[in-house]
A and B are shown apart, each in its own frame.
Chain A
């Protein structure tokens, strides 16, 4: 157990990096999911088809395959996901702008994958809004966009807090994959280095990184349960 105290900084840094990855990926996923959900309810069939294709694709392909594709495929195409290196954000997320692309690539893979599930969460939220609301809005003469923006989406967001929250919990757990795809220093990769290269005993390392993940997932899960029960 001494390992946990001696190498506390290592575990803390791992936790912070995993947290950063989750925040970046989560924000992009929310953005992508909202765009995809809007496409899926649009009146134009080609746009609907694009939304549906995106969701079907990423709901059915494992994240591992997406990671392989993004992390090894994109660089082969000459892209290092530089577009994520937004100036100013490097104060919060220093890894976004460094030369090694793996933080950006793994965050991108995680976000694109999670976006499909966010879209499904939002759509279930939109479907939970009583049809009368949209009908009333239309009777008032609101256009499709106004209807979505002022009436349906605000209610849909509230109804989709729980489904999207559980998507985010799943994403935090999925972020463990990043450590195997070149991201140096997150919880999972720290565990790998400590146990295989340094030959540290398994149990303390396991406890250390478990705490790192559970600190994020369990409080979120409990909050979601509360919210869900409070609604009923």
Chain B
């Protein structure tokens, strides 16, 4: 009895993406037996050379400086060390503080960024209107106003985008403190990060929406949707798929920039690390640990970005 054979449906077959072969894979031939041997030998030689270099340039100097000593590493890796528990409690507290600020900044940047993108699209749309249903002076006024608003938002976006985020955070913190607002530092950090990242996210969203085929907007308009409805119901859902990877990469940037909080006195991971280094006097070891923590979290986020890119 013949088993029913499942034929690949055309829909399935076409869903397979055309893969672009990167030039890196064609720089050299698929190795034959001789080349394979040469590659093996030279790989081994390169690995050995790297190990020797690593030993002479990194490990040995570090060892001569006593950087592998129990005294410096003990508080970090030895649970019996008196400093072990308090140190990791501080690191934990710092990590939570950093992640908390980053999470809030991410949410506010996303919300404000979306709102800003909508505003800019709406304004740009309005500048194409002639307001001919209004009486002449009002129409001219309305057109002037939309041009002005469009220009102002554009200039603000360019200025905020061109400024170092650190300068923004620094002056937000100083300025609000001088204005008599004694909020916790975290909010200054969040406001500074939001001001910068909302602009970046707005640009990603805007280019995602403007990259859609014109027919989408025209079709939506022809079935009677208002510009706001068009954006919300038709354009945004499609644009999200295109821009999600870029947005997630931007979130990695937000998380990395959260570490700037230490410079305005926010008690984050780096701040507690700095404090610990003052007492334990082991900067190399502590900054390696902090680097690893950031590395793990950010690497996971970047993988998520790549994964989303592949699965959308």
Chain A, range 27-45, C-beta contacts under 8 Å to B:
40-41, 43-45
A56-B299 contact in complex given A174-B164, A210-B167, C-beta closer than 8 Å: yes
Q: Is the CB of A173 within 8 A of B163?
A: yes
Beta-carbon nearest neighbor of A18 in chain B:
B164
> Is A80 located at the chain interface by the 8 A CB criterion?
no
Interface presence of B9 (CB below 8 A):
no
> What residue in chain A is nearest B282 (Cβ atoms)?
A76
Q: Kindly identify, within residues 162 to 179 of chain B, every residue whose CB is under 8 Å from any CB belonging to chain A.
A: 162-167, 170-171, 174-175, 178
Point out the residues of chain B lying under 8 angstroms from A130, CB to CB. Answer: 23
Q: Which residue of A lies closest to B252 (CB)?
A: A60
Total count of chain B residues near the partner, CB < 8 A: 57
CB proximity to A under 8 Å, residues B262-290? 262-263, 270, 273-274, 277, 283-284, 287-288, 290
**8 Å CB contact of B270 from A45, A68, A126:** A68
What's the Cα separation between A197 and B163 when bound, in Å? 23
Cβ–Cβ < 8 Å partners of A86 in chain B: none
Binds B, one of A6-14, A87-95, A97-105, A131-139: A131-139
* Complex Cα gap A78–B283 (Å): 13
Pairwise interchain contact A131-B26, C-beta atoms closer than 8 A: yes
Residues of A within 8 A of B258 (CB): 62
Asked, given contacts A188-B170, A213-B167, A218-B158, whether A69 binds B291 with beta carbons under 8 Å apart, the answer is: yes
| Cβ–Cβ < 8 Å partners of B129 in chain A | none
Other-chain residue from B21, B27, B47, B171 in contact with A147 (beta carbon distance below 8 A): B27
Surface stretch bound by A, among B38-46, B73-81, B108-116, B237-245: B38-46
CB of B231 within 8 Å of the partner chain: no
Are B167 and A188 in contact, CB atoms less than 8 angstroms apart? yes
A170 to B: closest C-beta gap in Å: 9
CB distance from A85 to the nearest CB of B (A): 19
Grouping DSSP codes into helix (H, G, I), strand (E, B) and loop, the A interface class, with mixed when no group exceeds half, is: helix
- With A61-B291, A65-B294, A202-B175 given, is the CB distance from A218 to B23 under 8 Å? no
Instruction: Indicate if B161 sits at the interface (CB-CB under 8 A).
Output: yes
List residues of chain B with CB within 8 A of the CB of A202.
171, 174-175, 178
Q: Is the CB of B23 within 8 A of A176?
A: no
Complex contact B21–A76 (CB within 8 A): no
> Can you list, as one digit per residue, whether each of B2-36 has a CB less than 8 Å from chain A (1) or not (0)?
00000000000000000001111111110100000
Partner of A64, one of B28, B167, B262: B262
Known contacts A64-B259, A134-B23; A213 and B166 CB within 8 A of each other: no
Report yes or no: A62 in contact with B27, Cβ–Cβ below 8 A: no
Instruction: Provide the residues of chain B in CB contact with A77, threshold 8 Å.
Output: 61-62, 65, 67, 284
Minimum CB–CB distance from B26 to chain A (whole Å) comes to: 5
Indicate whether A73 reaches chain B with its CB closer than 8 angstroms: yes
A126-B116 Cα distance, complex, nearest whole Å? 35
Which residues of A have CB within 8 Å of B62? 77
C-alpha spacing A214/B295, complex, angstroms = 31
Number of A-B contacts (CB under 8 A): 162
Question: Which residues of chain A from 98 to 127 have any CB-CB distance to chain B below 8 Å in the complex?
Answer: 123, 126-127
* Residue among B26, B159, B277, B283 with most chain A CB within 10 A: B26
- Which B residues touch A134, using CB under 8 A? 23, 26-27
Among the listed B164, B171, B256, which residue makes an inter-chain contact with A173, where contact means beta carbons less than 8 Å apart? Answer: B164
Give B127-166 as 1s and 0s: 1 = Cβ < 8 Å from A's Cβ atoms: 0000000000000000000000000000000110111111
Residues from chain A with Cβ under 8 Å of B302 in the complex: 59-60
- Cα A76 to Cα B281 in complex, Å, equals 10
Which of A64, A131, A191, A195: most chain B Cβ within 10 A? A64
Interface string of A149-192 (1 = CB under 8 A from B): 00010000000000000000000111111001000000010011
Known: A59-B302, A68-B273, A123-B24. 8 other contacts (CB 8 A): A44-B42, A59-B298, A61-B298, A64-B260, A133-B23, A176-B166, A177-B260, A214-B163
27 contacts between A and B (CB under 8 A): A44-B42, A44-B43, A47-B50, A50-B50, A56-B295, A59-B302, A60-B252, A60-B299, A62-B259, A62-B294, A69-B287, A72-B277, A72-B283, A73-B287, A77-B65, A131-B26, A135-B26, A173-B163, A176-B164, A176-B166, A180-B263, A188-B164, A188-B170, A206-B171, A214-B159, A217-B163, A218-B158
Measuring CB to CB, which residues of chain A are less than 8 angstroms from any residue of chain B? 40-41, 43-47, 50, 56-57, 59-66, 68-69, 72-73, 76-78, 123, 126-131, 133-135, 138, 144, 147-148, 152, 172-177, 180, 188, 191-192, 195-196, 202, 206, 209-210, 213-214, 217-218, 221
